[in-house]
Amino acid sequence: MAMAAVCGSSGIASLFSQAAFAAESDIADGKIVRFDFAGLQSMAQALAKKPWGGARGPGNGLCEDGAPGPLPDTLANLTPQAYNSIQYDAAHSLWNGVANRQLDIQFFHVGMGFRRRVRMFSVDTTTHLAREIHFRPELFKYNDAGVDTTQLEGQSDLGFAGFRVFKAPELSLKHRNWRGAMSSPSWAPVTSGR
């Protein structure tokens, strides 16, 4: 719903609220923290006063240092083709298993030029509690990317490079190369030539 508020679109807000009220995500595994719109506004105001890159949030556990950190070699040295072959496993999408959902969210893997880690949270709209969704290799299909997943085990702080939102679950298959919000300010759609 925070994204819908930024976009200023009541249609988007309606879709987000229907999906968000449906159920808590089963991929959220982090510590439970309080989250509400007033807190989001305070966080945005605090971040707006700080320089980009090293900004720190108000100490509520939701927003920490956004500066890019070093990645494991297996991710830092990916070619564009190898990075593009990493796919999010649709069975782990944010609202997978929620009946009659209108939206779904999947995450992008960090790696290659996408080094800024984005932390994702699932918010329970009735209790106003949020749980972080930590990076785990099993959330992704590595296909022929050549990623050594043993270098990724236990690294729950890798975060994600961004996320994509799409209407109706079947759209993820038709538009799998569309990029949603990515962590790099200079991203572009990547096609696989299919």
Per-10-residue mean pLDDT for the chain, 194 residues long? 33 42 64 86 86 52 58 93 94 82 87 86 86 91 94 85 78 51 42 32
pLDDT at 12: 41
Show me where the domains of the chain are located: 2-55+68-182
DSSP assignment string, 40-58: HHHHHHHHHTS-TTS----
Tell me the pTM.
0.68
Closest CA to 134 of 110, 107, 157, 162: 157
